[in-house]
Each structure stands twice: as C-alpha cells, then as structure tokens.
C-alpha cells in the first residue's frame, strides 16, 4: 500500500484498516469487534480483544528467537555508565520487578507512580506495571514536589517507584527528598515506596514504607510475575500533561489500541523495525519517551537507546554524534531545541566530523515547531533527511508526518508534511466550517480518532469532553492553529490556548499564574509565552501589586521566580517578571492574554472591541515589546 491508498482506507473504512493492523500484535483473544462507537463521543478500539502489552514488548521476541538481540542500550553521559540488556535479560528484570510490585500489593488496575531519572529501572518499572495490568503514571523528574503531589493525589497509586537522585550537568538532583515532600503535601498515602539507590546521593529510607530496589529485586528474582491478560480497553498508563489551568490533565492510554498504534507507527512513520538501533533522545517523563523510547521500538523488536545526558554540556556539543557513532544508531528522534542548543555551541558542526555517523539515516524532530533554519542546519551538517512530525501527549503518536517507512515524500521546510493514516485532519474556522487551503484555523481531527489516542482523562470524562470535544461537534480540538497547503501539507503555527512550549517541555501558564497569585503582594497577574531563539518559547510574567505594597519590585521579582521554581520546578524556566501598573482586560474582566502574546511576538494585532480600557494596553505595549 502506498501513502494515499493507506490514508484513504484509514479514513473511509477505519475498521478494515485497523483490523489488518491488529495483526501486528499478539493477542490472548483476537478482537472480533474492531470499533465500538455506541458510546460516542467515546470510541473504543478492539473492545472484545485481550492482550498484554509487556508480552508484546518482550516475551514474544524471546519466544520467537530474538532472546539474545539487544533490547536496550543504557548510555549515561553524566555518569559514564553504559549497559546493554538483551531481550531475555530485560524480560528477566521486568518479570522480577513485576513480582516485587505484586508482593507489595499491586493488583490489576492499581496505579503505580514512577518518578525517576533516565535509568533502565524506569523502563523496567513501566514494563513491569504493564505485565501485571497495573497502570503506570510517570512524572517527569524536573517537576517540584507540589506538582508531584497533585499527580499522586489524582492517580492514587498503591506504590511509588523512585530513585535517590538524578544527575543534571551542573548538579545532582536529590529526588527522594522531593518525593518525601510531595508525600507530605499529598493526602493520598501509597502502601510502599521503592527506591533505586544511586551512589551519587544515597537516600534515607523511611522505615516501614520505603523499600530498597536492589533488596526487593533479590527477592523478586525468585518470584517473577507472568503476563496478566487485560482487556484492550483497560488502561496501560496515565500521563499527566499541562492544560490551561493549574490542574494537569491525566491522559489515559489503553492497552490494545496503543499496542497496535505503536506496532504500526514505528515501522511506517519512522522506518525502523526489528533489529534496528533506534534512539529517541527524550525523557520517559514525556509522551515521546513512552511511545518511542519504550513501547514503539520494543513492540517492534528494535534496539532502543536510553540516554541519560543532554545534547550539550555532557561533555560537549558532540555528545549526540558520539552516541550515534558508538551504538551505530540508524535514526535519532529529538526536539528542535536540542539541535538549536548544539548549533549555538558548535555553529560549524565541526564536532560532527569527529565521529563516524554513517549509520544515521534519518533525524526526526518533534515536540515544538521546527523552524526552517534549524531544519536546514541539521540537514546540511548531518547529511540525512530531517523529518518534522507533529503530535501531542493526547494523541500518543504522530498526527502529521512524512511517512519514512510507508512512502517517503518531498519534505517542505516549516511543515510536518501530511496527515498520518488514521487521523482525519480538518482545519476549521470559528463556526466549525472547514476553511480552504492556505487559510489558518483551528486544527481538528474528525472523530473517531485512531487507536492509541487518548481514551479519556483519568477520572474525569466530563473534562475530556469539555476540553477537546465540545467546541466542534464530531471533532477533536487539538489546541493548535495552522493551515493546509494545496498539496495537503500541514503547517502548525502554534497553540491557540495558554499552553506554552519551553525547550520542548509543555507547560501551563495558568499553573504559573496560580503560583504567582499566592504571593501576598500580588493583586493580579498574567503569564504568557514569548518567542525565544533557543528554547522556542519562554514564560514571562506580568504582575500588578496590591495597592499599598511598598516592597522593592526587584525583591518581589526574585521571590516570584523562586516561588515558581519551588512550586512547579526548574523545568518551568520562569525567570522573567515585570511589575506593571495594570493588565488589559475585557469589559467582563478577562485578561487579554492572546493580545498580549501577539504584541510580545511583534505581530500587528487589532485591539479587541471588548477591551475595557485601551489606555492600559497602550501603556503596556512597549513593555511587551521589550522596549
């Protein structure tokens, strides 16, 4: 099948298309029903099928003769450690840890929160959950205790799995004290906490609650767990992502649809398959890490690289090229910001020449808009196609891409290429009418979305519907704006809501505003994302102080920066705050964030007719423009 044929079938007869792709997965009970839309707008894929995701990622390869193939290469640029696991070895570790979880009382359907750096134990913990039908929820290490506590309270885990520390280029980050603090803040109390001790900072364990990973594994190895049969529609994981408010959204991924989507997308989009060495330089705390560090490559039988380090500073801007050289990586997936960071340190790409990167066939970039300069630089220095792909935590896999395995096509800089089979992408105007090619609008996906996309929000069906499905009847609202060109190429121009993207990390300005509002001197505030040449966007806060506050604005600014760092985390990269006299509002009191954002980005934007006091905006204009 070529692209056009596959795409046409996937949208005109999705059941036939996905019935075929279901064959890529091993089932306990093969689904007879492919799609159940009886509960629309909720759609369920493969409702009568049963399977185990861990079985598909590990056991089946071992059973089918690939036991000695390398499944995972751990390369830690921050510690110098390197370790490889064959499929058989990874299976042994996963089955042992699954046994540990069962011994700690984790049952099918229970949640396990994983708060870990990029070490093999994080992957082992995820797959161990999948093995026993538990639902993992990985929380990115850069989040502070308060954010972790919110997620612990929402997911209500039976067990939390963590490590004593993570290692950033400039410092060792002690995870365990942050976890202890989060558990103090949370109302939910897990039955146990498992901690992987690392020599860079050993953690103090709490008697009666905390369990040492290595000690537990000693026991687990003599009591490994088998694969539990789960329904295709049972949840595999919950991954929290930033919405427009301070409460993150718990994206629910099911087992069956997800396994099929991973098994189809990895070879067809990324052009890699069993035996290939693949490297997604992301973090298991993000969706890219879930889909393409862990599940996609392993379900396909490939070798996945788990890299603990940065593109620069560990030790230099040649780190990525060293990893490609050493492990003979066929394709690399990272965020444009990582390439921009490398380009800044090594503009001529001279470090590329110090390594043999001849194994590399493709560079995939996603997570934020890929600007044509970065695209061109990477293509020129690496001499391989640079492929943009657009997706979201919600969709779990690309909505738009150049399909390198199915049918590589022309690459147009600035566009992630075409809609991926399964995603019926439409650009709509405010009234819900499809706009002609070249006209910008809200990028939407006609329901049903394909397998592997979000089933709902954890414990909150209503919020799922109100956030994504209620704006345009029958469509999923992506939250991104953009247009399609006459050749069907999509151009994604950015978020239309208050979600921002900082160095490929998705963050909520609403949650930053909630934190800033806690400061006793602040009357009101707005945080917007402003364009940044390195990180794509950076948050910038505008605060109005309460009348009568006499503190030095510089002190308040410092306090606010420290507050956001301690409440949300260093990853928020919140460093800029301006004290202003007033914020522009509508007559009904809504702060005109979009107008502020557009002015800050240097766009000509009309003043909304609903503005309460145009003078406030006029005063703010030079501040927004950084004049």
CB nearer ligand COA, residue 122 or residue 216: 122
By C-beta, is 52 or 291 nearer to ligand AMP? 291
Element (DSSP H or E) covering residue 152: helix 145-155
User: Residue 342, interface with ligand COA (CB under 6 A)?
Assistant: no
Beta-carbon contacts of 428 under 8 Å, excluding residues fewer than 6 positions away, are 434, 435, 441, 442, 444, 472, 475
Q: Which segments of 256-359 are extended strands (E)?
A: 277-280, 303-308, 331-334
Residue 252 as a binder of ligand COA (CB under 6 A): the answer is no
* Residue 370 interacts with, from ligand COA, ligand AMP, none (CB under 5-8 Å by kind): ligand AMP
Distance in angstroms (rounded) separating the CA atoms of residues 556 and 132: 50
Strand stretches in 431-486, DSSP E = 441-446, 475-484
Which one among 141, 296, 301, 422 touches ligand COA, defined by CB under 6 A? Answer: 141
| Residues near 289 by beta carbon (within 8 Å), at least 6 away in sequence | 138, 280, 282, 283
Indicate whether 338 belongs to the interface with ligand COA (CB under 6 A). Answer: yes
The CB-of-372 to ligand AMP minimum distance in angstroms stands at 12
Q: Which residues pair with 45 in a beta bridge?
A: 35
340 is an interface residue for ligand AMP by CB under 6 A: no
Whose Cβ is closer to ligand COA: residue 25's or residue 319's? 319
- Among positions 341, 428, 449, 477, the unique one binding ligand COA when judged by CB under 6 A: 341
Q: Which of residues 343-372 bind ligand COA (CB under 6 A)?
A: 366-367
Q: Which stretches does DSSP call E strand in 116-258?
A: 135-138, 159-163, 165-168, 171-174, 192-196, 210-212, 230-231, 235-241, 249-254
Question: Cβ of residue 393: shortest distance to ligand AMP, in angstroms?
Answer: 3
| The entry of ligand COA, ligand AMP, none that residue 310 binds, CB within 5 to 8 Å by partner kind | ligand COA
Angle between helices 509-517 and 553-567 (to 10 degrees): 120
Measured in whole angstroms, the distance separating CA 200 from the mean position of its chain's CA atoms is: 27
Interface map 362-391 toward ligand AMP (x if CB under 6 A): ----xxxxx-----------------xxxx
Q: Which of 282, 300, 362, 456 binds ligand COA (CB under 6 A)?
A: 282
Site pattern 502..541 for ligand AMP (x: CB under 6 A)? ----x-----------------------------------
- When CB distances are held under 5 to 8 angstroms depending on the partner's kind, the choice from ligand COA, ligand AMP, none that residue 241 binds is ligand AMP
- Shortest reach from residue 346's CB to ligand COA, in Å: 13
Pick the stretch among 56-64, 128-136, 329-337, 428-436 that binds ligand COA (CB under 6 A). 329-337
Near ligand COA by CB under 6 A: residue from 24, 173, 205, 384: 173
Q: How far apart are CA 566 and CA 247, in angstroms?
A: 17
Q: Which of 34, 17, 21, 25 is nearest to 298 (CA)?
A: 25
Q: Which is nearer to ligand COA, 46 or 375 (CB)?
A: 375
Q: Which does 389 bind (CB under 5 to 8 A by kind): ligand COA, ligand AMP, none?
A: ligand AMP
Which of residues 31, 243, 311, 529 is near ligand COA by CB under 6 A? 311
Q: Could you tell me which stretch among 96-104, 193-201, 568-576, 583-591 binds ligand COA (CB under 6 A)?
A: 568-576
Alpha-carbon distances, residue 246 vs 216, 242, 520 (angstroms):
36, 8, 19
Contact yes or no for 320/305 (Cβ under 8 A):
no
Q: Which string of x and - marks every residue 569-598 that binds ligand COA (by CB under 6 A)?
A: -xx-x-------------------------
Which DSSP letter does residue 420 get?
A: P
Closest CB 604 distance from ligand AMP, rounded Å: 23
Distance in Å, CB of 3 to ligand AMP, minimum: 18
Residue recorded with tokens 């070879």: 267
- Site membership for ligand AMP, residue 131 (CB under 6 A): no
* Count of C-beta atoms within a 10 Å radius of residue 32: 10
Which residue's CB is nearer to ligand COA, number 156 or number 561?
A: 561
Contact residues for 65 (Cβ-Cβ < 8 A; gap 6+) = none
- Other Cβ atoms less than 10 A from the Cβ of 80: the count is 7
d(CA 531, CA 544): 23
Q: Which of 18, 85, 266, 286 binds ligand COA (CB under 6 A)?
A: 286
Q: In whole angstroms, give the CA distance from residue 500 to residue 531.
A: 10
Distance separating alpha carbons of residues 554 and 569, to the nearest angstrom: 21
3-class state of residue 600 by DSSP: helix
Smallest gap, in angstroms, from Cβ of residue 335 to ligand COA? Answer: 4
Distance of closest approach, residue 337 Cβ to ligand COA, in angstroms: 4
Among 392, 508, 509, 537, binds ligand AMP (CB under 6 A): 392
Window 412-471: residues binding ligand COA (CB under 6 A): none
DSSP state of 385: -
Q: Does 168 bind ligand COA (CB under 6 A)?
A: yes
With CB under 5 to 8 Å by kind, the binding choice for 453 among ligand COA, ligand AMP, none is none
For residues 469 and 476, the answer to whether their CB atoms sit within 8 Å is yes
Binding mask 241-260 for ligand AMP (x = CB under 6 A): x-------------------
Q: Minimum distance from CB of 265 to ligand AMP (Å)?
A: 15
Sign of the torsion angle spanned by Cα atoms 450, 451, 456, 461: positive
d(Cα 4, Cα 1) in Å, to the nearest integer? 8
Residues found near ligand COA in the complex (CB under 6 A): 141-142, 166, 168, 173, 282, 286, 288, 310-312, 334-335, 337-338, 341, 366-367, 502-504, 570-571, 573
């Amino acid at each position: 099948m070529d692209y056009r044929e596959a795409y046409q079938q996937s949208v005109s007869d999705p059941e036939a298309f996905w019935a075929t792709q279901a064959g890529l997965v091993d089932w306990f009970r093969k689904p007879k029903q492919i799609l159940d839309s009886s509960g629309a707008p909720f759609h369920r894929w493969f409702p009568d099928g049963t399977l185990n995701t861990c079985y598909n990622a590990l056991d089946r390869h071992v059973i089918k003769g690939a036991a000695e193939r390398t499944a995972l290469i751990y390369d830690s640029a921050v510690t110098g450690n390197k370790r490889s696991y064959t499929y058989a070895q990874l299976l042994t570790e996963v089955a042992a840890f699954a046994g540990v979880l069962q011994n700690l009382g984790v049952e099918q359907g229970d949640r396990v929160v994983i708060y870990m750096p990029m070490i093999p134990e994080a992957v082992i913990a995820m797959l161990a959950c999948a093995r026993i039908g538990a639902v993992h929820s990985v929380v990115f290490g850069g989040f502070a205790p308060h954010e972790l506590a919110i997620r612990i309270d929402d997911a209500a885990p039976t067990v939390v799995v963590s490590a004593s520390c993570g290692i950033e280029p400039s410092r060792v980050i002690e995870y365990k004290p942050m976890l202890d603090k989060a558990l103090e803040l949370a109302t939910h109390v897990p039955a146990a906490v498992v901690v992987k001790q690392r020599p860079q900072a050993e953690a103090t364990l709490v008697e009666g609650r905390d369990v040492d990973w290595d000690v537990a594994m000693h026991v687990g190895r003599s009591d490994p767990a088998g694969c539990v049969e789960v329904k295709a529609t049972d949840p595999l994981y919950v991954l929290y992502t930033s919405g427009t408010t301070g409460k993150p959204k718990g994206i629910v991924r099911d087992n069956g649809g997800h396994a099929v989507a991973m098994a189809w997308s990895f070879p067809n989009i990324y052009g890699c398959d069993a035996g290939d060495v693949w490297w997604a330089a992301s973090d298991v705390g993000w969706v890219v890490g879930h889909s393409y560090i862990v599940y996609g490559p392993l379900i396909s039988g490939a070798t996945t690289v788990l890299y603990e380090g940065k593109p620069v500073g560990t030790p230099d801007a040649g780190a990525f090229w060293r990893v490609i050289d050493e492990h003979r990586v066929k394709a690399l997936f990272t965020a444009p910001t990582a390439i921009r960071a490398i380009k800044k340190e090594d503009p001529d790409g001279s470090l590329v020449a110090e390594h043999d990167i001849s194994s590399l066939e493709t560079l995939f970039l996603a997570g934020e808009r890929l600007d044509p300069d970065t695209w061109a630089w990477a293509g020129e220095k690496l001499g391989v196609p640079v492929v943009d792909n657009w997706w979201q935590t919600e969709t779990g896999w690309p909505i738009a891409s150049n399909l390198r395995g199915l049918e590589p096509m022309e690459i147009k800089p600035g566009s992630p290429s075409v809609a991926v089979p399964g995603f019926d992408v439409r650009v709509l105007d405010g009234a819900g009418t499809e706009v002609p090619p070249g006209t910008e609008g809200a990028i939407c996906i006609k329901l049903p979305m394909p397998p592997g996309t979000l089933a709902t929000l954890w414990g909150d069906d209503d919020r799922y519907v109100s956030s994504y499905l209620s704006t345009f009847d029958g469509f999923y609202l992506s939250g991104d704006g953009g247009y399609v060109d006459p050749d069907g190429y999509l151009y994604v121009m950015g978020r239309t809501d208050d979600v921002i993207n900082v160095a490929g990390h998705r963050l909520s300005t609403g949650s930053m505003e909630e934190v800033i509002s806690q400061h006793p001197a602040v009357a009101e505030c707005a945080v917007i994302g402003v364009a940044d040449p390195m990180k794509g966007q950076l948050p910038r806060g505008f605060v109005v102080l309460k009348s009568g506050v006499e503190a030095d604005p510089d002190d308040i600014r410092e306090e606010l920066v420290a507050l956001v760092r301690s409440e949300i985390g260093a990853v928020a990269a919140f460093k800029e705050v301006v004290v202003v006299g007033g914020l522009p509002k509508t007559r009904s009191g809504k702060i005109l964030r979009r107008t502020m954002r557009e002015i800050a980005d240097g766009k000509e934007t009309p003043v909304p007719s609903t503005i309460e006091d145009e003078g406030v905006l006029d005063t703010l204009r030079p501040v927004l423009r950084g004049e």
